[in-house]
């Protein structure tokens, strides 16, 4: 039987249907959902919430126990209206967070504050949050809508019939689904199991990041992005006494550099220095028979623009609409898959163009640009 207590904790929600089946390996439980989502980051939670809002039966599988570490703490103000659509009006501002009107950029000219924008109500302000708290907020909303949450859920594998993804295998438990959503982030859960075509737009890029604490002269200021000799560094205050830094170098031999940027060398490091593969890539077929890729599992650009979380939410919501369309119009599935792909590729190409332009005016622009 499915070792519920050891493997995962399931909450609320009725399953679409439940049955058990006897095989040579024993009895396993089978449940059917409209949608099974793998990964409970912003992309996975947004997909699960938006599908549940449309009345679908959804299961959300997350391998890590929360709170878990994830980079991505500087949020663009456009997050707010998206959260409203997901039924989370005002909840972000209730989290402990710092607000800022833009980013200081020291790149091709003197340092300047690039603002997010403004409207009649005043300047738009971004958020500096703790990702763990933000992700817990999203997961809580999914749970409240009746999404079946399985966490920690180890080693899910994709179930296929021909070229269609039909569900997810979990040891002695099987979840069949009309759509399986890969929201596993850069880890690329589905890509590791099935041959999938990817479009590459940069050489291998590794971002290094970490935290430190102590007094910093610009500690009360907005996040800042500085050009370095072979890349850039990003520094943002995450709370009263703690700073986040990320560095990226486009020289392959500098992968070994794993130290805080010079301006922070005198501060006390907190936790390990981590690395993340942030090579620019895009799935050639982000939606196909029985599956959708969302968030970083579908497309990655390096975090110079700090838009990853915003894009992940948008992508999850767009995927939920695409799944809704497919369920309502099965004969039009192929057209919907193409529409989702075109949407994602248009988004990506717009960001790619902006990032390429940004890198091209870097004082030491990389040759591959
Ligand atoms: C150094 C760095 C700094 C960044 N800074 C910012 C920033 O300031 N602002 C910003 O907006 N973006 C930033 N980003 C980008 C941002 O982190 C990502 O774009 C965003 O988190 C993508 O969301 P996601 O939901 O697609 O994936 P993730 O947030 O990575 O979530 C994926 C989830 O899937 C789970 N998972 C993985 N594999 C499995 C599996 N096999 N089974 C079940 N669950 C699984 C993981 O545990 C995780 O919870 C940064 C990225 C990096 C690398």
d(CA 181, CA 38): 6
d(CA 228, CA 363): 8
**Among 45, 69, 70, 261, which residue has the most ligand 1 atoms within 8 Å of its CB, making it the best to mutate?**
70
- Ligand 1 center to 28 CA (angstroms): 32
Which of 15-29, 91-105, 266-280 is predicted least confidently? 15-29
- In tens, the pLDDT along 31-90 reads 999 999 999 999 999 999 999 999 999 999 999 999 988 888 999 999 999 999 999 998
Ligand 1: residues with CB < 6 A are 38-44, 61-64, 70-75, 153, 156, 183-185, 187, 189, 207, 209, 246, 276, 278, 295-297, 303, 306-310, 312
Which residue, 246, 245, 227, is CA-closest to 366? 227
Residues sharing a CB contact under 8 Å with residue 315, sequence separation 6 or more, in sequence order: 43, 46, 294, 295, 298, 299, 344, 347
- Mean pLDDT computed over 330-340: 97
- Ligand 1 center to 84 CA (angstroms): 21
The alpha carbon of 192 is separated from its chain's Cα centroid by a whole number of angstroms, namely: 17
For 350, the enclosing helix (H) or strand (E) is helix 333-360
- Pair of tokens at residue 368: 């591959």
Domain 4-70+132-201+280-360, CATH: 3.50.50.60
d(CA 164, CA 16): 20
Q: What top-level class would CATH report for the domain 96-129+206-270?
A: alpha beta
d(CA 301, CA 312): 12
The alpha carbon of 96 is separated from its chain's Cα centroid by a whole number of angstroms, namely: 21
pLDDT at residue number 1: 25
CB 317 within 8 A of CB 82: yes
d(CA 20, CA 121): 57
Residue 5 pLDDT > 90, yes or no?
no
d(CA 14, CA 33): 10
DSSP code per residue over 107-167 = SSSS-EEEE--EETTEE--EEE--HHHHHHHHHHHHHHTT-EEEBS----EEEEETTEEEE
- In tens, the pLDDT along 96-124 reads 888 999 999 999 989 999 999 999 999 99
- DSSP-H helix ranges across 203-332: 308-328
CA atoms within 13 A on the CB side of 243: 28
For 44, the enclosing helix (H) or strand (E) is helix 42-53
- In tens, the pLDDT along 209-233 reads 999 998 776 655 789 999 999 999 9
- Pair of tokens at residue 2: 């499915």
Domain boundaries, the chain: 4-70+132-201+280-360, 96-129+206-270
pTM score, whole prediction: 0.93
Which residue, 61, 37, 34, is CA-closest to 47? 37
């Amino acid at each position: 039987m499915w070792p519920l207590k050891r493997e995962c904790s399931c909450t609320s929600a009725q399953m679409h249907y439940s049955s058990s089946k006897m095989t040579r390996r024993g009895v396993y439980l089978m449940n059917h959902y409209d949608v099974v989502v793998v990964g409970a980051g912003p992309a996975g939670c947004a997909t699960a919430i938006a599908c549940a809002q449309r009345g679908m039966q959804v299961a959300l599988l997350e391998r890590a126990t929360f709170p878990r570490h994830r980079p991505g703490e500087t949020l663009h103000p456009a997050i707010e209206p998206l959260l409203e659509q997901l039924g989370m009006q005002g909840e972000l501002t209730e989290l402990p967070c710092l607000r800022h009107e833009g980013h200081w950029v020291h790149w091709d000219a003197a340092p300047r504050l690039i603002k997010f924008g403004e409207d009649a109500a005043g300047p738009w302000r971004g958020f500096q949050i703790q990702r763990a708290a933000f992700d817990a907020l999203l997961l809580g909303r999914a749970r409240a809508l009746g999404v079946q949450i399985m966490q920690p859920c180890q080693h899910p594998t994709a179930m296929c019939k021909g070229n269609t993804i039909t569900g997810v295998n979990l040891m002695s438990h099987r979840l069949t689904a009309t759509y399986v959503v890969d929201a596993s982030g850069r880890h690329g859960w589905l890509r590791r199991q099935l041959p999938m075509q990817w479009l590459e737009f940069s050489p291998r890029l590794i971002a290094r990041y970490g935290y430190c604490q102590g007094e910093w002269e610009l500690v009360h200021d907005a996040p800042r992005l500085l050009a370095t000799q072979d890349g850039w560094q990003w520094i943002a205050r995450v709370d009263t006494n703690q700073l986040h830094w990320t560095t990226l170098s486009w020289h392959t031999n500098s992968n070994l550099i794993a130290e805080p940027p010079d301006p922070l060398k005198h501060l006390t490091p907190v936790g390990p220095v981590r690395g993340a593969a942030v090579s620019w890539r895009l799935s050639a077929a982000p939606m196909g028979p029985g599956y959708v890729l969302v968030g970083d599992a579908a497309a990655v650009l390096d975090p110079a623009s700090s838009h990853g979380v915003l894009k992940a939410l948008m992508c999850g919501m767009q995927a939920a609409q695409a799944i809704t369309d497919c369920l309502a119009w099965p004969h039009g599935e192929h057209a919907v898959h193409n529409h989702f792909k075109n949407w994602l590729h248009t988004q990506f190409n717009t960001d790619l163009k902006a990032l390429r332009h940004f890198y091209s005016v870097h004082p030491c622009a990389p040759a591959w640009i």
